[in-house]
Amino acid sequence: MTAWDTARRARDTRLHAAARFAQGKRVAASDATALLEAVLRPGDRVCLEGDNQKQADVLASALASVDKARVHDLHMVQSGIVLPEHLDVFERGIARRLDYSYSGPQSQRIARLLFAGKIELGAVHTYLELFARYFIDLTPQVALIAAVSADREGNLYTGPNTEDTPTVVEATAFKNGVVIAQVNEIVDKVPRVDIPGDRVHFVVESGKPFYVEPLFTRDPAAITETQILTAMLAIKGIYAPYGVTRLNHGIGFNTAAIELLLPTFGEKLGLKGKVASHWALNPHPTLIPAIESGWVSQIHCFGSEVGMDDYIRARPDIYFTGADGSLRSNRAFSQTAGLYACDMFIGSTLQIDLQGHSSTVTADRVAGFGGAPNMGSDPRGRRHPSQPWLQAGQEADPDTPAALRRGRKLVVQIGETFGDKNVPMFVEHLDALKLADKLQLDLAPVMVYSDDVSHIVTEEGIANLLLCRDKNEREHAIRGVAGYTEIGRGRDPKMVQRLRERGVVLRPEDLGIDPLDADRRMLAARSIKDLVRWSGGLYAPPSRFRNW
Amino acid sequence: MTAWDTARRARDTRLHAAARFAQGKRVAASDATALLEAVLRPGDRVCLEGDNQKQADVLASALASVDKARVHDLHMVQSGIVLPEHLDVFERGIARRLDYSYSGPQSQRIARLLFAGKIELGAVHTYLELFARYFIDLTPQVALIAAVSADREGNLYTGPNTEDTPTVVEATAFKNGVVIAQVNEIVDKVPRVDIPGDRVHFVVESGKPFYVEPLFTRDPAAITETQILTAMLAIKGIYAPYGVTRLNHGIGFNTAAIELLLPTFGEKLGLKGKVASHWALNPHPTLIPAIESGWVSQIHCFGSEVGMDDYIRARPDIYFTGADGSLRSNRAFSQTAGLYACDMFIGSTLQIDLQGHSSTVTADRVAGFGGAPNMGSDPRGRRHPSQPWLQAGQEADPDTPAALRRGRKLVVQIGETFGDKNVPMFVEHLDALKLADKLQLDLAPVMVYSDDVSHIVTEEGIANLLLCRDKNEREHAIRGVAGYTEIGRGRDPKMVQRLRERGVVLRPEDLGIDPLDADRRMLAARSIKDLVRWSGGLYAPPSRFRNW
């Protein structure tokens, strides 16, 4: 007779083996490595949380310390490769295969390990895509997660950084997996239940807060006037004419500049209440002045942001908060919202090629994707109309009868023609292609594909790719905003002029913008301290951003 | 000074007004209408659950009975319009505006109410899209949900029909909304916690099970030999050559036939273990023989299915189940899985036009979309490769260099050239266009757009639209499988012959299939009773499917 509960029995065997390290569900931090050695089996799929912000750091170092004679060849399926321990497990041979989404701070080291063959790469995903696979073919056998506190039944309180946890736990706990949580402390009653205790098998009391990466804090002091100009162009040339109310911003300085110009430049243009009111966004400190000025109706967050907790707690009309008063974030839902309920994604990139493909991969950095490809793609399953979406669709495809014409998402890439260290943003070929070749990948790691991009914004102007009718027009629209880069200098000026006459390329003067007006004084806040002031002292920036 | 907690204070006022009907969180069923009158305000956005399967039926009738002088102009934001009460609230003027996804059993009446102007239509969505908007611009003020049981703290047990509940509750409870649950009974301890009690404000004890619609049960006795032939073509002509392991099936008889042919026809072709192993799927009874024959590795479910609970409970290696042993379904995650982690969606439709657009709307029925447009669209944010996806991408776009070429999702429409009552599936123009015109909709309700469809399967053969290079080829590939419909008779036989030579059109004989072999004896189960037998008596079909 066939057995149909082999996975459940295997789980019970693991739980039994681990029981001697636990009192009830409680495990001492000093026993964490022994616990993992008892629970894990070679070849297991393991999700080590591993978000882009919050980190199960104590469990990460416990895992990096297991006896590799007992635990080896793990298949890590986690969204963020952020801590050194996330890669130590590969270097030590504890893990072998990796499916992930984002590796910001570890992007150089992950590249080295990939080149050295120390990591067998499954694929680089966007977050929602990896979560999707948790339920189909990458279901974890073991999840190692982080929370603020637990009660004795294992009910978890994640605080503002709920992030990936409910998704990871759901996929693991309901498919015969083992869930181990590190918590700062064990309490009698958790302030709210983010994860019900019956989904949690062991709780490791770490005695200290888990590590959180302040990934979405941009210091206004570092915003340049060139970036301010790109922000003005975007607001007047895209936000205003399309009337974009539902949107997501990337994490670069250009979009931070947009956030800080809403209550100044945007206000002068009379856009308050007409644009940028409903957001899928992390709690960007640079959005504080716009919130305080009454621009924002509501924000749903992927995760939280270091220092923003008290501010969020005081603004429940804006943010999603729990009965305990603190933020409830949720990466899966916010990514879904960014995909299907937002009319615009706007973000910076490192490289754009002549077709309009963009990538943040360079020859020696594999940064991963995060959420951008999900939100920066045209969701063809969308069926509800909205004005910006219909207008973009009409521009892209004027010939199809309206009832059978889908709208288009606005996917905007924004940046300076020359970026960090004067490296040109526009290139003939993406470095991502070299990387794909070197690692023999099936696909080059393209962040946003050409056919999804609607606009490119630089200090030279806006290229509206929706209005391009062929490959040549597209190429020249891109060259037309590529400034003095080699790509820009390769333009046919007459062709660009014709595109400009059709409104495909827009110069600052075409929008009535004088580049000399792009002044730092236009920023609603010019420093982190200004943001603190706007927040009424509620924003508490991390120490590295304090210089007073 | 600006107030930033107006919504929270408004919620507390509602809770206070309702408190006199409650003991703790508990409200008597006889007080349900009074409770709703105390909680609801005119113009509220309300989510009445309203899935495609489980129904908060007691709360639905309580809502339909409120005093419309007190409660009116509600904006209903719910995935399923299934019960008569869901429309009674519009007829009575309690609700005015509607944003929804699916209206199967009410599709005729909803059309009448739309035509009569009794419903102000927001939009018809696909599920995941509506869920996305819950977090951005359609956040409910009040959610009326259903669960099996609650404890005194309001912790809810949904049993196998978890479905939309966690999503609805998350959007409502964390944005200052009020959550009211109907439960069959109140118990000391719930078998598992599907919804933590701190997200639930009131619990109405209904004293009887909530209504569940058995939506995914197809009686094998009703499968025709024509449908069997389409199923054979799909298996041999699509599943096999692409090697599709991760997939979703629609609910029609054609896909039920595929499920029942896997252990017979599929087995003979040597496909076991090579195709159809990982699923995003409701617990289709017709998949039981394939599961019992060892074809299936795992299934994640949107919802449950009437009669399947004991079978699922006995197959935890296959299904996602909780500590209580019963299914944990989750529509949001399963739709996400269907979008990003499946390589194929295959489903039936009512009408396909000459371009390949398809729709289930007819002149007098507005059925809504459900999940099909989400799963039946090419997810351009996907970044992980798989063999079927790469192969489909290569067929669609052989000229782009592999590293910059995205794969394609296989989106298959399957059906007989003449459907129910001999109505042709192929039409010059979709009825959806007439409807859009009549209701002055911005968009015709197209289920799957032409540019997302990869294959059309009928008893005449398979049209591979990926291989079509222009509009004319596409049209003739469609005509080439449209049989004796007017569309089929309008073909240019030479053109179709050329397409056949290129493998764009495949006839049964091109696949080595003799239509005469399409015999009901090939079905692994030929009746509901056979399915019960396959399940070892664990499947308990609803009475309307029993004829013994």
Is B258 at the interface with chain A, CB within 8 A?
Answer: no
Average pLDDT value for residue range B49-60: 92
* H or E element in which residue B134 lies: helix B127-134
Q: What is the pLDDT of residues B405-461, one digit of tens each?
A: 999 999 999 999 998 889 999 999 999 999 999 999 999 999 999 999 999 999 999
Q: Is the pLDDT assigned to residue A218 strictly greater than 80?
A: yes
Q: Do B176 and A406 touch (CB under 8 A)?
A: no
Q: Do A170 and B333 touch (CB under 8 A)?
A: yes
Q: Which pLDDT value is given to residue A304? A: 96
Q: Which pLDDT value is given to residue A420? A: 86
Q: How many Å separate Cα A138 from the centre of its chain? A: 21
- Stated pTM of the model: 0.98
Amino acid sitting at position B354: L
- The SS3 assignment for A22 reads strand
Facing residues of A324 across strands?
Answer: none
Q: Which pLDDT value is given to residue A215? A: 87
- Spell out the SS3 assignment of B197-265: HHHCCEEEECCCCCEECCCCCCCHHHCCHHHHHHHHHHHHHHHHHHCCCEEEECCCHHHHHHHHHHHHH
* H or E element in which residue B77 lies: strand B74-80
Q: What is the pLDDT of residues B179-200, one digit of tens each?
A: 999 999 999 999 999 999 999 9
Between CA B138 and CA A341 the distance in angstroms is: 9
**pLDDT grade, residue A214 (50/70/90)?**
confident
Residue B490 token pair? 């309008």
Q: Which pLDDT value is given to residue B25? A: 98
**pLDDT grade, residue A361 (50/70/90)?**
confident
B165-173 vs B127-134: helix axis angle to the nearest 10? 20
Total Cβ atoms within 10 A of residue B502: 13
Buried b (16+ CB within 10 A) or exposed e, A76-92: bbbbbbbbebbbbbbbb
Residues 87-116 of A with CB under 8 A from B: 99
Q: Do A126 and B175 touch (CB under 8 A)?
A: no
Q: Do A193 and B192 touch (CB under 8 A)?
A: no
Angle (CA) A230 A235 A236, round 5°: 100
Q: Which pLDDT value is given to residue A2? A: 85
Average pLDDT value for residue range A381-400: 97
Taking the CA of residue B383 and the nearest CA in chain A, the distance in Å comes to: 5
Q: Which of B129, B199, B328 sits opposite A382 (nearest CB)?
A: B129
Contact A504, A482 (CB under 8 A): no
Between CA A143 and CA A197 the distance in angstroms is: 14
Residue B454 token pair? 């990869």
Between CA B126 and CA A70 the distance in angstroms is: 47
Amino acid sitting at position A449: Y
- Residue B499 makes CB contacts below 8 A (sequence gap 6+) with B468, B473, B476, B477, B480, B505
Is A340 at the interface with chain B, CB within 8 A?
Answer: yes
Closest residue by Cα to residue A140 from A35, A19, A40: A40
Residue A428 token pair? 């003939």
Q: What is the mean pLDDT of chain A?
A: 96
Q: What is the pLDDT of residues A158-182, one digit of tens each?
A: 999 999 999 999 999 999 999 999 9
Q: What is the pLDDT of residues B207-230, one digit of tens each?
A: 999 999 888 999 999 999 999 999
Q: What is the mean pLDDT of chain B?
A: 96
- The SS3 assignment for A344 reads strand
Between CA B251 and CA B345 the distance in angstroms is: 11
Q: What is the pLDDT of residues B95-145, one digit of tens each?
A: 999 999 999 889 999 999 999 999 999 999 999 999 999 999 999 999 999
Q: Do A5 and B381 touch (CB under 8 A)?
A: no
For chain B, the 3-state helix, strand and coil shares in percent, each to the nearest 5, are 40, 20, 40
Q: What is the pLDDT of residues A289-332, one digit of tens each?
A: 999 999 999 999 999 999 999 999 999 999 999 999 999 999 99
- Residues of chain B contacting residue A136, judged by C-beta atoms under 8 Å apart: 246, 278-280, 298, 300, 337, 341-342
- ipTM of the prediction: 0.98
Is A137 at the interface with chain B, CB within 8 A?
Answer: yes
